[in-house]
Structure 1
Amino acid sequence: MILRGVGRRYGLRGPWVLRGLDLELPARALVRIEGPNGIGKSTLLRLLAGIDAPTEGSLTDRPRTAYVPERFPAALPFTAAGYLVHMGRVHGLPTAEAAVRAQEWLARFGASGHARTPLAELSKGTSQKVAVAQSLLAEPDLLVLDEAWTGLDTAARDELDRAVAERVADGATVVFVDHDPKRLAGAADLAYRLEDRTLTPAADTPGDTGPHVRIEATGRPSAALPPGLPGAPVVERDAGNPAAVRLTTTAAHSDTVLHALLTARPPWHVTGLSQLPVPVPAPVPAAADGAAAGPMPRPAPGAVPADTAAPVPERPGPAGAVAPVRETGSRTARAVRPPVGVTTALIRYQAATLARSQRWLAPLLLYAAVLGVGVRAGQPLLDSLGYAAAALLPAAAWLVRLCVTQEPLAARTVTAAAVGPSRAHCASLLTGLGCALALGAAGAGIVLLISEPVSTDHTVAVPLLPAALAGLLAAGCSALLGTAVGALCARPVLHRHGWSLAATVLGALLALVTDGSPAKAAVTGLVSGSLTGTVRVPLLPLAGALAVGVAVAALTSRIAALRE
């Protein structure tokens, strides 16, 4: 992932937060971002995660990404496991695989007992565990952590340390910000300090604090250790037993070091593990080949172990403890499965959020009330179809506005990091449009059942099937225009709730009465055709409404990346 001359403003014309950033993030690297509060660290992480687009410069080669915000909202209408399954599908996992991984990560963070608990009932710490779990279950290639340890208990923090080390060992890039200067101290491959809107290299804090683990292993006499051991462990060899080696590393890197030893060719046999709770003074180490003394060189970011196709060690136990590791000979890597349709998964997630929140009830009741007042049994069919199509437009704008704004901002950033803000916004619009189309079809169906297929003066019979087609297409015009109105009158175009609501009402009214509006043309065609009993299928208005809807969706999706 490469940044060239990247800058970011507050808003579209506000002051610069970042300017002229050049940064290259290699694979298999842990990157720490430092700097005082309010300097723009979160803005930089949002750029790296793809939540925001740079105001200037370019950002290329972004891999599959997951993001953890500092504070994760609990105002989502799902259980913890239900939300994780939805996010797993959004990341491209099949439903069954997403469910299994959701349970695995909840168990690892000590939250399996809350799998069926609604998010709104979770404590701040448990909500943060869910936020961290959603970022890890899809095994992203880029993991961006913005104060992700905040709110976690000690055991969960240690588990996140281990999870970070695992992602780096598997070849991912992890970028993190944390207020604790001791967080993953000494483990970072790269460290940068953000000051005066620019990045400068920062020396990483030596990793001499926190618990350490001592690993004792034996192999062939004078056998070389695997190259690129994570965490740069201190290596000691026993002069009396050249087949034995002792490595001292941080607890966060212990699992990946064990993994590398057990999967080497030939493998090493682990004979002992012990935890060292206090910093260990670095002994005079022996080189990996038992010759010259000196510390193991730190692997360069992007270095690949000698063999990565090997068994994964068992998960660590409680905080600081290291569980025994199984030697199984060879590893079958977790298969990479073809992703499910991401847009489909996003629409399912948005639709489930809307359905569970019951916010759809208000526009539904509004539409039903308008139909109840204006449509009566025995009235001319085309008149009633035109009335139903006109009533649909404000209901569609309301539904789209709900879909665009229903996610709390922090949850929206998580979704945007997974798929990009433009696609996330488009999925919201498609969900609202789909709900509006379903509502319009239901309204047209009711009108067809209770209305008389005759002209306004009841003298000319109206063909039922062409009339039904014309009514459905007119409803489609209103749904598309309502989608455009809802998109233009909500986030990211208008952020203030009061202005947004007033603009939605005004926009829906103008779309119905303005000359040249596709919705007005479609409704007028039905009403005027009722006078003579002639059915006018609104193909041209439908094409115009489709063009307007696509243009507005493209425009607002672009704005979503710039000022979400």
Structure 2
Amino acid sequence: MKIFEATKVMKRIDDFQILANLSLSIHQGERIAITGQNGSGKSSLLKLIGGIYEETSGKVWRDQLRIAYVPEHFPETIRFKLYEYLMLMGKMNGQSKSIIHEAITQFANRFAISHFLSTPLKKCSKGTKQKAGIIQALLMKPELLLMDEPLTGLDDDSQKELVNQLNQLPAETTIIFTAHDSLLIDHLAHRVIRVDDGAISSDTYKQQKERVLLIRARIPSKEVITDMQLGPQKFVGDNLVDLLVLESESDQALRLLLERGCSILEVIEKR
């Protein structure tokens, strides 16, 4: 389902043209990275998609969606404490106080900012403010999530947690973000749009690699599986084995293991 379409759009601020002859369609559930050099217009395109910018000329159509936006730079004028701010943003989505409180607590733990919840936002570090911006967007349960350089100011663990949280969003959630590094592009984006001098210079769909799964099983003996041609095997002691299989072959592998008296301990994606 199409949620956004721009046709020959130009955007001008004062005498400066920031977007030129831009045509673009976006469909529900897409994961799109917008790339380009600083000043290329990628943030302006993000704002056009979200309706923060209106076109100067051309035609834009937007579906009526619940949108959450994470700016690159968190506003400095907010006087709330971190918890108060997040609670307010959650209430704007019509959720009960208890549900919002539980979600804030969980997100704060995952992003390691629990000890800052009582701190005024103006006294928080750039990284903590960035996390606050991300959490408020996730609390909105958006249909369209827009993020401008969301990894800015985040430590490595928080970057990985953000990727994890985004990959857990419903498949119908559309995610569009600007980025200059590879983490989100590699682990989230299905489509990459490059912007140069305010125009789209390339728009490509990434070839999706089939996932590789690690199956750990308890086995009666090594002989039980030595003739199973299911991919690389690694024995862990005498009664455990790790198997690497393609996702398309995982059902067959699990069935064969169970038929031979093995117990499945875990199945995880191998990164």
Length-normalised TM-score, structure 1: 0.38
Q: Partner of 2:132 in structure 1?
A: 130
For residues 46 and 93 of structure 1, what CA distance do their matches in structure 2 show? 26
Tell me if structure 1 keeps the 8 A contact 2:34–2:193.
yes
- Report the counterpart of residue 155 of structure 1 in structure 2: 157
Contact 1:81 1:103 in 2 (8 A): no
Distance (whole Å) between structure 1 residues aligned to residue 4 and residue 132 of structure 2: 30
The answer to whether the 8 A contact 1:80-1:117 is kept is yes
Whether the 8 Å contact between 2:4 and 2:63 is mirrored in structure 1 is yes
Cα separation, partners in 2 of 1:187 and 1:98, compared to 1, 3 Å: closer
Q: Helix, strand or coil: the match of 2:69?
A: strand
Q: Is 2:64 the partner of 1:65?
A: no
Aligned residue for 1:2?
4
Distance 1:270 1:50, change over 3 A: farther
| Greater mean alpha carbon deviation, residues 91-100 or residues 45-54 | 91-100
Deviations 1:191-224 (A, max 9, x none): 211124322444466788xxx9734389xxxxxx
Give the alignment partner of residue 166 of structure 2, picking from 150, 164, 167: 164
Say which structure, 1 or 2, has more relative contact order (CA 8 Å, 6+ apart): 2
Which residue of structure 2 lines up, in the alignment, with residue 105 of structure 1?
107
Aligned to 1:185, the other structure's residue is in SS state helix
Distance in 2 (CA, whole Å) between partners of 1:240 and 1:192 is: 38
Amino acid of the structure 1 residue aligned with 2:92: V
**Alignment-derived partner of residue 266 in structure 2:** 272
Cα deviation digits, residues 303-349 of structure 1 (max 9, x gap): xxxxxxxxxxxxxxxxxxxxxxxxxxxxxxxxxxxxxxxxxxxxxxx
Paired letter, 1:272: E
Q: What is aligned with 1:401?
A: none
Shift of 1:75: 3.6
How much has 1:62 moved relative to structure 2?
Answer: 4.1
Q: Is the 8 A contact 2:11 2:19 kept in 1?
A: yes
* 1:97, distance to aligned residue in structure 2 (A): 3.0
Q: 1:65 to 1:117 in 2, by over 3 A?
A: same
Q: What's the counterpart of residue 49 of structure 1?
A: 50
Q: 1 or 2, which has the higher strand percentage?
A: 2
Residue matched to 2:213: 214
Paired residues of 1:27 and 1:172 also in contact (CA < 8 A): yes
* Alignment deviations for residues 88-118 of structure 1 (CA, whole Å, 9 cap, x no partner): 1223334443333222222221111211111
Which of 1 and 2 has greater Rg? Answer: 1
**2:235 equivalent in structure 1:** none
Q: Give the direction of change, closer, same or farther, for the CA distance of 1:54–1:243 in structure 2 (3 Å limit).
A: same
User: Higher helix fraction: Structure 1 or Structure 2?
Assistant: 1
Conserved 8 A contact 1:185-1:204: no
* Aligned residue in 2 for 1:29: 30
Structure-2 separation of matches of 1:140 and 1:238 = 33
Q: Which residues in structure 2 correspond to 1:138-217 (within 5 Å)?
A: 138-167=140-169, 169-185=170-186, 187-203=188-204, 214-216=213-215
Which letter does structure 2 place at the counterpart of 1:133? Answer: I
SS of the counterpart of 1:42? helix
Query: 2:213·2:246 contact (CA, 8 Å) conserved in 1?
Result: no
Q: In 2, Cα distance between the equivalents of 1:192 and 1:216?
A: 36
Number of the residue aligned with 1:223 = none
1:114 aligns with 2:116: yes
Asked if 1:243 is matched to 2:252, the reply is no
Question: How far off its partner does 1:275 sit?
Answer: 7.2
Deviations 1:35-88 (A, max 9, x none): 121011111111122222222222321411001111213442111110011111
Deviation at 1:19, TM superposition (A): 2.4
Identity %: 29
Alignment CA distance shift 1:109-1:241 (3 Å): closer
